[in-house]
């Protein structure tokens, strides 16, 4: 899953600057539904990560049945937090 593809799929653009609040909310909801329906672990992780970057990801225990997946998500969150401190 490529970021540009996800942006296009959920927001109908790769430039979020022109996305209305209603379109943004609808895209996030669509992505959350897709996350709930997705069975592939890698794709689930990608969708969860995408949602996390927008502050809309469900809790780890809701999103991931597997402890390894939850730990990978924690690592992802730690990496993002560390990179934000570098800027």
**Which residue range forms the structural domain that includes residue 10?**
3-86
* Structural domain total, the chain: 1
pLDDT-derived band of residue 85, with 50, 70 and 90 as boundaries? confident
0.75 surpassed by pTM: yes
Above 80 in pLDDT, residue 1? Answer: no
DSSP H helical segments within 1-87, as ranges? 3-11, 21-37, 41-53, 60-63, 67-86
In this prediction, residue 29 carries a pLDDT of 98
* CA 12 – CA 9 distance, rounded (Å): 6
pLDDT-derived band of residue 84, with 50, 70 and 90 as boundaries? confident
**Buried b / exposed e across 41-77, counting CB within 10 Å, b at 16+?**
eeebbbbbbbbbeeebbeebeebbeeeebeebbeeee
Q: How does pLDDT run across 38-83, given as a tens digit for each residue? A: 999 999 999 999 999 999 999 999 999 999 999 999 999 999 999 9
């Amino acid at each position: 899953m490529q970021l540009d593809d996800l942006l296009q799929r959920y927001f109908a653009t790769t430039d979020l600057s022109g996305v209305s609040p209603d379109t943004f909310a609808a895209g996030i909801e669509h992505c959350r539904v897709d996350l709930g329906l997705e069975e592939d672990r890698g794709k689930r992780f990608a969708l969860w990560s995408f949602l996390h970057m927008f502050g809309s990801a469900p809790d780890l225990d809701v999103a991931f049945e597997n402890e390894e997946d939850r730990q990978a998500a924690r690592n992802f969150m730690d990496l993002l937090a560390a990179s934000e401190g570098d800027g």
